[in-house]
Amino acid sequence: MREEVLQMQSRLEEQAQITRRGRMVSETVLLKIDADEHYLVFEKGRIADVLPGPSKKIPYRFAIVTDGDALEKFWEPRPEPGFHDLFGLVKIGRAQILGDILTLVKNLRFFKDVLALPRKSRT
């Protein structure tokens, strides 16, 4: 799982349209997969760093909490219904969004595209 999260950083650099969409995003987001925490540090639409957790010293704007099996299904090239979208995962009870959801909603397309980046490497 950590490998896919780290690959998001390099894959985002290859996707100019996603980076352009997130050019106003400079936030830290927590991605918690099972017990593993990954802090994605965004600077102007790029992932500047991926910090390992857990840490109570790293502030984050919002968190996406899910389990590894759900994320594996989400990252499939053609995910089944409910696993195709971040809010689909929330609806079926396989993910939670915690914190400042307004930041997520304002940049929804950007964050959805970033989270789906590992999907492209599995085709």
Fold assignment, 2-116:
Nonspecific Lipid-transfer Protein; Chain A (3.30.1050)
Burial of 9 (0-12, 13-18, 19+ CB in 10 A): middle
For the stretch 78-114, pLDDT in tens is 999 999 999 999 999 999 999 999 999 999 999 999 9
pLDDT at position 120 is 62
For the stretch 4-26, pLDDT in tens is 888 898 899 999 999 999 999 99
The two three-digit tokens of residue 94, written as one number: 């396989």
The two three-digit tokens of residue 31, written as one number: 């991605």
Find residue 52's DSSP bridge partners.
38
pLDDT at position 31 is 95
The mean pLDDT of the chain is 91
Check residues 121 and 100 and name the one with the higher pLDDT: 100
For the stretch 37-72, pLDDT in tens is 999 999 999 999 999 888 888 999 999 999 999 999
Q: In what order do the strands lie in the sheet with 28-33?
A: 46-52, 36-43, 28-33, 62-66, 95-99
Find residue 64's DSSP bridge partners.
31, 97
Does residue 121 carry a pLDDT above 70? no
Whose CA is closest to 36, among 74, 8, 62, 71? Answer: 71
